Amino acid sequence: MAPLIRFTSKGIYCPQADVYIDPWKSVDKALITHAHADHARRGHKGYLCHHHSINILKYRLGNINVQGIEYEKTININGVTISFHPAGHVVGSAQIKLQNNKESWVISGDYKIENDNLSVPFQPVTCDYFITESTFGLPVFQWEDQRVVMDKINKWWSHNKEQKVPSLISAYSLGKAQRLIQNVDHSIGPVLCHPAIANTNEAIIASGIKMKESHPIGDNYNNTEALFICPPAAIDSLSKKLGKSSVAIASGWMALRGARRRRNVEHGFVLSDHADWAGLNQAIRDTGAQKVYVTHGYSDIFSKWLNEKGIPSQTVETAFEGEKMVETEEV
Amino acid sequence: MKQFSTLFQAIESTTSSNAKISAIVNYFEQAQDLDKLWCIAIFSHKRPKRSVTTTLLRTWAAELADIPQWLFEETYHIVGDLAETISKVTPANKNKESKTLSDWIQYIIDLKELAEEEKKEKILYAWSALNSDERFLFNKLITGGFRMGVAQKTIVKALSRLLGQEENVIAHKLMGNWTPQNISYQELLLTEDQKHNLSKPYPFYLAYALDSDLQNLGAPDDWFAEYKWDGIRGQIIKRDSHIYVWSRGEELVTHQYPEFDALIDIPDDFVIDGEVLVIKEEKIASFNALQKRIGRKAVSKKMRTEYPVKMMVYDLLELNNADIRDQQQQKRRLLLEKLFLGISSEMPLRLSPLVSFSTWEELHDIRNNIRKKDAEGLMLKRKTGPYKTGRKKGDWYKWKVDPMTIDAVMIYAQRGHGRRANLFTDFTFALKDGDRLVPFAKAYSGLTDIEFREVSQFVRKNTLEKFGPVSSVRPELVFEVAFEGIAESKRHKSGIALRFPRIKRWRKDKPVSEINTLDDIKKFLSSD
Ligand SMILES: [Zn+2]
Ligand SMILES: [Zn+2]
């Protein structure tokens, strides 16, 4: 009997419903877990995503044919029941469940366990087959509480304010940036965002989500009380414009001293929108899956570990690129 | 340990050397003498003798973290640092300990005599009593290889500010083979009489690479030119009938070069600076010959006859107990030449000759013909300059012969360690030999971060086979590889070995069909 899900050269495919999940080549029907570039690509005829992702997708991909769906709502295509479930990764991120009368699959996309106070928190979904990411699938990755990390960021920001130097922090424009906006202490000073982030914020707010106050940078380069948030790619040019500033990076990779030193950053805050080692293990146990497919990260190592723990597992080659090397853009 | 950990975090979270200096001064104002002393020792790369093997540490860490050994090893490979890996996989601390830096070091020293089971118990206790940052430092103290991101200059400046002593004086005091076990903080830094330590060397003066036109140096007449010898920098001390030989890495290597014992017969006392070379029948042998002598503890008679070392001397720092580093280069040179009048040619010392020239153009020509002279290039020294401490601009410049280069294709890539844990950074290059590709060099540095990413992406998409961390890659990317020297080698498939190979640039303009051949590179052998 043909399995419900196949791994093809275009991406993860469900033949019975004729839909692809996060495909990397052009297809007719694409189900999108979330709006990050390595999951939501240009060129599909039709997109289906969580309705909070619609505006962001349109902002990023232009005028596409996209439909939205609520979490937990089901649709049925040719005997396959499809539903989206919160992944807690970024706003609108979803795990996608596909089920027929024989078996059920959950494609988790990217996920994190901790509540970031903006995206709907991760919920475990039981299934027979679970496809998991493993971006931080090594036992050295153990995240501290978000509150602890935010305390550190607030302290750094306040200290800079006292020293009269602007605080500049690099954070991915969808996810990390909003998480900072939601969780830093706004009594310290204003939060100013790079245009790429400000536009993403607008797309999110237009979807009916409330966010704490932030402003586009404009030409506000002299504000030493502000927290400037900008995407990793723009950090050099913005820091030049700011003159003397304190530069920080918020990323899971900052857990590694080597990664901090390589980027020559003075302040690396360990903050990730992916699950840490314990989180991945917990999530996988909670699905009750009889088999786990591992992608997107240290997949060989993590899969071997699961097998030893008695959870049958294998790696899936995907065209996800750069997940290990793009230290600050864990998308 | 808390104070020391705070110091470490402060140093790690700034790139400004002023902020680092303040952090160190701050620590020294609070810490006890013994902690200060150990802190200086650690900055100077001195550490207690290893009392536990890393194999045991790895086993215990995996056990405590409740993960299989292979997973620990894989993780370690990716993180690239054992101390860090252990500190991060082991659980959060549950005990509290108020031991200071030196207490913990004593704790580590005391492990030496214990049985394995007792060692284990002590180590596991320490891990459970320290937080993750402190655990990292504790592990570093055991395993060594501490790189605190602090240059010797920085610690010297901090101590100078703290104690109100000249930087030169501090730098000198910190030299030599003291350890916190044989000297006190008082003796090391607060007494003026340093003569109790006969073997104490002076900090080396290091030259900057010449980075502008010779014209900018001013009048040619203000400068000495010498050959830049391709050997091992060294300092020989003769004081009170004792001979000490120091390497630039502040290592006492007297026993590796017994030739210099003969200097005891020279009537004057002195400290000289120069380059150790293999010189046989007044001919300088290649660096390869010298390599046979480097690091050897026991030197056989045969070794000494086949690869006899001498020092090519170019500076005099101390003469009959007088420190003359403040005197002008030309004055020191004069004294050095005078000293050499009384040194017979039987002695393993040679005076590094001055290269005479009257115009910068002339010097250009000299440098262009230099390879035959067995030198790496020229040194330029200002006649009126003093002998400075460390790498300082202004008075000493090295002017190297341009390196040799060759175009080659990348065939293997290896994931980086530590600071480049997530990139492919180590590459193996091949040259054409008929229609075969023959690997001939491994190189690391030389690409920008953006290029590294681009290359890493290529590697990921074009991996043919994986052997552990190494991927064999479709041979498509062409690079210009530069190197400083080349020698025949039976051990290598290519038949050659290179010195200091590195990536000069990525030749995106060149197809693989146009890379060089093995024969091309062998042509350099004769010209070398
Ligand atoms: Zn992703
Ligand atoms: Zn993502």
**Which residue in the set B13, B68, B420 is minimally distant from A258, CB to CB?**
B420
User: To the nearest whole number, what is the mean pLDDT of chain B?
Assistant: 87
CA A33 – ligand 2 centroid, Å: 9
Q: How confident is the model at residue A26 (pLDDT cuts 50, 70, 90)?
A: very high
Instruction: Give the residue with greater pLDDT, A244 vs B528.
Output: A244
DSSP B195: T
- In this structure, is residue A241 part of a structural domain? yes
DSSP A218: T
Residues with Cβ within 8 Å of residue B247, at least 6 apart in sequence: B232, B233, B234, B253
Residue recorded with tokens 């290597």: B253
Q: Is residue A107 located within the same domain as residue A10? A: yes
- Output the six-digit token pair for A69: 């769906």
pLDDT at position A322:
34
Query: Which are the catalytic amino acids of B?
Result: 228
- CB-based contact (8 Å) between B417 and chain A? yes
Q: Is residue A45 located within the same domain as residue A60? A: yes
* Chain B residue nearest residue A318, CA to CA: B461
B299, B293 Cβ separation under 8 angstroms: yes
What's the length of chain B?
A: 528
Residues with Cβ within 8 Å of residue B396, at least 6 apart in sequence: B205, B206, B207, B208, B379, B380, B381, B382, B385, B388
- pLDDT digits over A135-193, tens only? 999 999 999 999 999 999 999 999 999 999 999 999 999 999 999 999 999 999 999 99
- Output the six-digit token pair for A194: 């790079």
CA A36 – ligand 2 centroid, Å: 5
Q: Is residue A212 located within the same domain as residue A191? A: yes
Q: How far is A304 from chain B (nearest CA, A)?
A: 9
Q: Is residue A79 located within the same domain as residue A187? A: no
Residue recorded with tokens 């830049």: B228
- In this structure, is residue A326 part of a structural domain? no
- In this structure, is residue A331 part of a structural domain? no
Q: Is residue A60 located within the same domain as residue A111? A: yes
User: To the nearest whole number, what is the mean pLDDT of chain A?
Assistant: 92
- In this structure, is residue A169 part of a structural domain? yes
Residues of chain B where predicted confidence (pLDDT) is lower than 70: 145, 147, 149, 193-196, 371-374, 417-422, 445, 468, 526-528
- In this structure, is residue A308 part of a structural domain? yes
A126, A287 Cβ separation under 8 angstroms: yes
Alpha-carbon dihedral angle through residues B67, B73, B78, B83, given to the nearest 10 degrees? 90
Query: Which residue type is seen at A172?
Result: Y
The CATH number covering residue A128 comes to 3.60.15.10
Q: A250, A269, A288 — which closes off a domain?
A: A269
A130, A284 Cβ separation under 8 angstroms: yes
- pLDDT digits over A74-129, tens only? 999 999 999 999 999 999 999 999 999 999 999 999 999 999 999 999 999 999 99
Cα separations in angstroms, A71 against A20, A92, A96, A121, B472: 19, 9, 10, 11, 44
- In this structure, is residue A176 part of a structural domain? yes
The CATH number covering residue A164 comes to 3.40.50.10710
- pLDDT digits over A268-322, tens only? 999 999 999 999 999 999 999 999 999 988 889 999 999 999 999 999 876 444 3
Q: Is residue A135 located within the same domain as residue A12? A: yes
Which domains are assigned to chain B?
Answer: 2-143 (1.10.3260.10), 205-400 (3.30.470.30), 404-527 (2.40.50.140)
Find the domain containing A82 and state its range. Answer: 6-140+274-315
- pLDDT digits over B410-466, tens only? 999 987 766 566 678 789 999 998 878 899 998 876 777 778 888 888 888 888 877
Query: Which residue type is seen at B87?
Result: S
Instruction: Give the burial class of B157: count Cβ atoms within 10 A of its Cβ; 0-12 exposed, 13-18 middle, 19 or more buried.
Output: buried
User: Regarding beta strands A74-77 and B309-319, do their DSSP bridges make them parallel or antiparallel, or are they unpaired?
Assistant: unpaired
DSSP per-residue letters across B308-352: -EEEEEEEEEEETTEE-TTS-HHHHHHHHHHHHHTS-TTSSEEEP
pTM of model > 0.80: no
- In this structure, is residue A325 part of a structural domain? no
* Chain B residue nearest residue A141, CA to CA: B88
Q: Is residue A245 located within the same domain as residue A308? A: no
Domain count, chain A: 2
The 3-state DSSP class for residue A36 equals coil
**Which residue in the set A140, A259, A266 is minimally distant from B89, CB to CB?**
A140
- In this structure, is residue A198 part of a structural domain? yes
User: Regarding beta strands A66-69 and A46-50, do their DSSP bridges make them parallel or antiparallel, or are they unpaired?
Assistant: parallel
pLDDT at position A331:
47
Tell me which chain A residues have a C-beta less than 8 angstroms from the C-beta of B63: none
Distance CA A47, CA A93 (A): 14
What residue spans of chain A are helical by DSSP H? 54-61, 146-163, 176-183, 195-206, 235-242, 257-262, 277-287, 299-308
Q: Is residue A109 located within the same domain as residue A54? A: yes
Q: Are A325 and B456 an interchain contact pair (Cβ–Cβ within 8 Å)?
A: yes
- Output the six-digit token pair for B407: 């175009």
Q: Which residues pair with B443 in a beta bridge?
A: B427
Tell me which chain A residues have a C-beta less than 8 angstroms from the C-beta of B72: 139
Q: Is residue A103 located within the same domain as residue A44? A: yes
Instruction: Give the residue with greater pLDDT, B459 vs A211.
Output: A211
Q: A253, A269, A285 — which closes off a domain?
A: A269
Residues with Cβ within 8 Å of residue B93, at least 6 apart in sequence: B127, B128, B129, B130, B131, B132, B135
Q: Is residue A30 located within the same domain as residue A154? A: no
Distance CA B441, CA B404 (A): 13
Q: Is residue A62 located within the same domain as residue A90? A: yes
**Nearest Cα residue to A118 out of A49, A208, A57:** A208
- Terminal CA-to-CA distance of chain B, rounded, Å? 53
Q: Is residue A33 located within the same domain as residue A127? A: yes
- Output the six-digit token pair for B287: 């660096």
- CB-based contact (8 Å) between B80 and chain A? yes
What's the length of chain A?
A: 331
